[in-house]
């Protein structure tokens, strides 16, 4: 029993030692052709950088949309001849609605003062006998009612209240922005799929060239009885190395682009009272991206090896 256990342990250790040796040897094969390997990694890195950049930008876009949705506000302009008791009754009704997270009352006098402070036509108000501005109630929907349809339905519900003359909701620009963002995401996803396919094809072609360069060596290995799994393994590890190196290059490129774009985006977002900055990928996204790149490299190598190794048979 001890001999069997020791023999199994040795086989287990030898199996991993052989894989580790071929893993290092495959890296050495790439190092022997530095120019070709570097050019391949650059092409793969550029191909992976666009999907990675789109993922990083989507993180920032989600934060911007959440911030702007959280500021969605409905302004309720009250009837001009509304008495104070009716206003208080309306305030009580609004504060008891579960669809609203905050209710802020602004009297007609406060609205006039705000207009005078912010308008260039404040001097013209002194020629008016009466205050032309109504009282306003500013309400903010709760988090569950900030989507486009939910806010529209809430606006119609508030418009139907007898004390309300007009319920104004400035959401058209946000809906257009969301539609543009969805179009950009769809286009980006299509481009990303094409570039991911390009990564697989480029890796497959690179591995094919490596197989052709070792054509006679592979023939000799098959003559002495080497299995296809043994011959195939170094090429698969080469695909993994190409995927790993290209993913690291893509991360460097994306971080450099984000730093470059951050100033311009910060200036644009400041026009909408947003202080959000462009963030990079999260730790889990970086790990997923690197793992996916290694998987794509392995897939390209596997497809190439499966096709071309079978065509090499010793006579």
* Domains in the chain, CATH or no CATH each: 20-67+175-308 (no CATH), 73-170 (3.30.70.3040)
Task: Check residue 79 and report its DSSP letter.
Answer: P
Instruction: Please report, for residues 37, 272, 309, the alpha-carbon distance to residue 226 in angstroms, rounded to integers and kept in the order given.
Output: 27, 66, 12
Q: Find out whether 147 and 72 touch, Cβ atoms under 8 Å.
A: no
CB 239 within 8 Å of CB 302? yes
106 by DSSP, 3-state: which?
Answer: strand
| Residue 191: HSE in the Cβ half-sphere, 13 Å Cα cutoff | 16
Specify the DSSP element, H or E, that contains 240. Answer: helix 228-270
CB 22 within 8 A of CB 232: no
State if pTM tops 0.85: no
Among 7, 6, 25, 10, smallest CA distance to 230 is for 25
Tens digit of pLDDT at every position of the chain (315 positions): 444 444 666 666 766 777 777 777 777 777 888 888 888 889 998 989 888 888 887 777 776 666 655 556 788 888 887 888 888 888 888 888 888 888 888 887 777 777 666 666 656 666 666 766 788 888 888 877 766 677 888 888 888 888 888 888 766 666 776 777 778 778 888 888 988 899 999 999 888 888 888 888 888 888 888 777 788 888 888 889 999 999 999 999 988 888 887 777 766 666 655 556 667 788 888 899 899 999 999 999 999 888 877 777 766
Judge whether 166 and 74 are in contact, CB under 8 Å: no
Supply the pLDDT for residue 223.
83
CA of residue 301 relative to chain centroid, distance: 28
Answer yes or no: are the C-beta atoms of 79 and 108 closer than 8 Å: no
- Secondary-structure percent of the chain, ordered helix, strand, coil, rounded to 5: 75, 10, 20
CA 143 to chain centre: 22
DSSP type of residue 125: G
Partners of residue 166 on adjacent β-strands: 77
Cα separations in angstroms, 205 against 34, 40, 159, 285, 305: 17, 10, 65, 28, 10
């Amino acid at each position: 029993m001890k001999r069997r256990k020791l023999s199994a342990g040795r086989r287990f250790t030898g199996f991993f030692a052989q894989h580790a040796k071929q893993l290092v040897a495959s890296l050495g094969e790439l190092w022997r052709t530095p120019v070709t390997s570097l050019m391949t990694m650059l092409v793969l890195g550029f191909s992976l950088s666009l999907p990675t950049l789109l993922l990083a930008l989507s993180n920032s876009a989600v934060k911007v949309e959440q911030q702007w949705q959280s500021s969605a506000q409905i302004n309720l302009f009250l009837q001009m001849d509304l008495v104070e008791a009716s206003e208080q009754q309306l305030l009580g009704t609004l504060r008891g609605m579960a669809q609203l997270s905050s209710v802020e009352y602004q009297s007609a006098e406060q609205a006039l003062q705000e207009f005078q402070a912010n308008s260039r036509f404040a001097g013209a108000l002194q020629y008016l006998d009466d205050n032309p501005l109504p009282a306003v109630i500013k309400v903010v929907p709760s988090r569950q009612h900030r989507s486009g349809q939910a806010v529209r339905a809430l606006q119609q519900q508030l418009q139907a209240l007898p004390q309300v003359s007009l319920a104004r909701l400035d959401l058209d620009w946000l809906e257009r922005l969301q539609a543009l963002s969805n179009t950009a995401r769809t286009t980006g996803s299509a481009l990303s799929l094409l570039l991911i396919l390009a990564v697989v094809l480029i890796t497959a072609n690179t591995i094919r060239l490596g197989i052709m360069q070792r054509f006679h060596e592979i023939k000799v290995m098959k003559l002495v009885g080497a299995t296809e799994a043994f011959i195939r393994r170094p090429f698969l590890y080469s695909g993994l190395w190409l995927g790993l190196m290209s993913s690291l290059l893509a991360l460097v490129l994306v971080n450099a682009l984000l730093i470059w774009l951050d100033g311009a985006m910060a200036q644009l977002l400041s026009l909408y009272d947003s202080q959000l900055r462009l963030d990079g990928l999260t730790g889990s996204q970086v790990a997923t991206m690197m793992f996916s790149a290694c998987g794509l490299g392995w897939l390209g190598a596997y497809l190439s090896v499966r096709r071309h190794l079978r065509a090499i048979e010793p006579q």
